[in-house]
Chains A and B, each alone.
Chain A
């Protein structure tokens, strides 16, 4: 307990009486100091007894409302105190501001003057950092005339801040969910791998070293054990990062949704040891191209590129200049005087294809696929993550990918399910979704093409419910 100024004043009076006793040679004044000292000590004991009683009668609650938010959102923290019986102490219960939160509401504190039984204080906090945040317990300050004490109350409340990311991810066809192991595949043929596949009778042409002698002894005739072959499937991720992919709330854009699926496929590819590569496409063309490869570093690089994919800023017509941070994979035009420069003359033929690249920028998705598979000799399993805003271009990109004799997985984000106000008119939304579904089915019906919708499941259900009702009414 800490003495207040009033307490120090009482001590000062006692000291004054002692000094006066010594100076005036009146020892009886020491009696006054003794009485005052007795009073101070008694008040100290009385304060402790009252504080002890008060704390046992005090119930403090610190409640976040709600206890779970998404990063960047805010919630209310409520501190409430209840005394089972009134105290003669003046209480202040102050919530401590969590380190990871911000508040403009000032201090979260309530006061219980002597005799009061209930108090409540509320402040709004913003939570920019994802994670589970333990709230520090509030501090309780109890004060009377002569003494004050500050105690920390144990805090058990916590706020769970979820990172902004797609929720209720739906991947499927026409509202039906697709099996979750996107990209899982079998070797498809028997070979000389490590995992046993089957036991069969010896046939002419089989080498002696492939004979399973134990099985032969057990079965009475020569038998061969076969093993699953290990095969590699080259996977190319073509990610559309053009502005239309940025539609949706923060952390729940079209790109965020298709990226989740692409990451899942990348994980499966990593487990299978498949070579993977990435092409990121923006408004100006191919923004990033990572050649396919099967090393673990490559797999991590692919994952990083997928995670780091950001929607390209809208291109302002006539702005001309490209952002300086973009990878300089395309030859930049040489500036300044060039005539007679041997360096320029040497490079000029190599710069000529620049015109072709610029031509391709009019259809960057197809161009991205083309660039991605250009150096591949084996069939490529191509994943195209895009939306339905440019159907003809998607169609073209799929055709380019199919030309490589591989399989194409198209992840399509339906625009109607990402527009915030689209569900205000459900009939119209259903009509637009039906058009999307027609486009998706068109792609899906192509040979070696799987076209899936990627969208928030709850929004899709809302739209499909309208279709079901319409069918019911019609029926």
Chain B
């Protein structure tokens, strides 16, 4: 069970309203259905449900719901660590850009694989940075092989 901050409540209500205004009642209902999923299972499940629910919807509604999911992610991160919102936006941008480029060049499957590979590289990079920064690992001396 999640404990929402006021900012998260506000983001959720605002997203439902904005999606309703911009894409109509059905997309707004989709976002509303994602609310209990977030509450019970967590934000990642809610984002998954939101995006799966866009399958039968038109591209405009998909785009609006997609933007709404990014808002929810940003609100959740603001409650944890505000500077990491920028990281989320940047990382999502990079991953989305790789997906878009992949779709236009090698197809959806290839784009998906490239996206996941990039996610793995980003995650491992942050992990290694953490180890060095916390002096769990030491950098090899300059000039060594």
> Could you tell me which residues of chain A, from 11 to 50, have a CB within 8 Å of some CB in chain B?
11, 13-22, 24-46, 48-50
A13 adjacent to B45 (CB under 8 Å): yes
Let me know if A6 is at the binding interface, CB within 8 A: yes
Let me know if A58 is at the binding interface, CB within 8 A: no
CA distance A32 to B54 in the complex (A): 10
Known: A30-B103, A38-B95, A51-B130. A16 touches B48 (CB 8 A): yes
* Besides A27-B99, A32-B47, A46-B77, 15 other A-B contacts (C-beta < 8 A): A26-B55, A28-B59, A30-B99, A32-B48, A32-B50, A32-B52, A34-B92, A34-B95, A35-B47, A37-B91, A38-B87, A41-B126, A45-B84, A48-B126, A51-B134
Known: A34-B115, A36-B44. A42 touches B103 (CB 8 A): no
Rounded to whole Å, the gap between the CB of A27 and the closest CB of chain B is 5
Report the number of A-B residue pairs with Cβ-Cβ less than 8 Å.
167
B91-102 near A? 1/0 per residue, CB < 8 Å = 111011001101
> Could you tell me which residues of chain B, from 63 to 120, have a CB within 8 Å of some CB in chain A?
66, 69-70, 73, 76-77, 80-81, 83-85, 87-93, 95-96, 99-100, 102-103, 108-109, 111-113, 115-116, 118-119
- Which chain B positions have C-beta within 8 A of A17? 48, 51-52
A44 adjacent to B92 (CB under 8 Å): no
A43 adjacent to B62 (CB under 8 Å): no
- Which chain B positions have C-beta within 8 A of A1? 127, 130
Rounded to whole Å, the gap between the CB of A87 and the closest CB of chain B is 12
B66 adjacent to A28 (CB under 8 Å): yes
Q: Choose among B45, B80, B100 the residue with the greatest number of A CB atoms under 10 Å from its CB.
A: B80
B88 adjacent to A49 (CB under 8 Å): no
Rounded to whole Å, the gap between the CB of A13 and the closest CB of chain B is 4
What is the size, in residues, of chain B's interface with A at 8 Å between Cβ atoms?
55
Let me know if B133 is at the binding interface, CB within 8 A: yes
A38 adjacent to B112 (CB under 8 Å): no
Residues on B lying within 8 angstroms of A by beta carbon are 42-45, 47-48, 50-52, 54-55, 59, 62, 66, 69-70, 73, 76-77, 80-81, 83-85, 87-93, 95-96, 99-100, 102-103, 108-109, 111-113, 115-116, 118-119, 122-123, 126-127, 129-130, 133-134, 136
Let me know if A52 is at the binding interface, CB within 8 A: yes
A36 adjacent to B84 (CB under 8 Å): no
A35 adjacent to B69 (CB under 8 Å): yes
B119 adjacent to A49 (CB under 8 Å): no
CA distance A18 to B99 in the complex (A): 10
Known: A25-B108, A49-B84. A32 touches B51 (CB 8 A): yes
CA distance A246 to B79 in the complex (A): 71
Pairs A–B under 8 Å by Cβ, sample size 17: A31-B66, A31-B96, A32-B48, A32-B51, A32-B66, A35-B51, A35-B73, A36-B47, A37-B92, A37-B122, A38-B88, A39-B76, A39-B77, A41-B123, A42-B91, A51-B134, A52-B134
CA distance A45 to B91 in the complex (A): 11
Closest 6 A/B residue pairs (Cβ): A32-B51, A38-B92, A42-B88, A18-B112, A46-B81, A34-B95
CA distance A37 to B89 in the complex (A): 10
Residue of B nearest to A32 (CB): B51
Rounded to whole Å, the gap between the CB of B31 and the closest CB of chain A is 14
CA distance A36 to B43 in the complex (A): 9
Q: Choose among B59, B89, B123, B136 the residue with the greatest number of A CB atoms under 10 Å from its CB.
A: B123
CA distance A49 to B133 in the complex (A): 10
B92 adjacent to A35 (CB under 8 Å): yes
- Which chain B positions have C-beta within 8 A of A6? 42
Rounded to whole Å, the gap between the CB of B47 and the closest CB of chain A is 5
- Which chain A positions have C-beta within 8 A of B109? 22
CA distance A117 to B65 in the complex (A): 41
- Which chain B positions have C-beta within 8 A of A55? 134
- Which chain A positions have C-beta within 8 A of B103? 27, 30
B44 adjacent to A28 (CB under 8 Å): no
Known: A30-B99, A48-B126. A151 touches B112 (CB 8 A): no
CA distance A88 to B96 in the complex (A): 30
Q: Choose among B76, B90, B92 the residue with the greatest number of A CB atoms under 10 Å from its CB.
A: B92
Let me know if A57 is at the binding interface, CB within 8 A: no
Let me know if A9 is at the binding interface, CB within 8 A: yes
- Which chain B positions have C-beta within 8 A of A197? none
Rounded to whole Å, the gap between the CB of A48 and the closest CB of chain B is 4
A39 adjacent to B48 (CB under 8 Å): no
- Which chain B positions have C-beta within 8 A of A33? 95, 99, 112, 115-116, 119
Residue of A nearest to B110 (CB): A22
- Which chain A positions have C-beta within 8 A of B100? 30
A58-77 near B? 1/0 per residue, CB < 8 Å = 00000000000000000000
B119 adjacent to A41 (CB under 8 Å): yes
Rounded to whole Å, the gap between the CB of A136 and the closest CB of chain B is 17
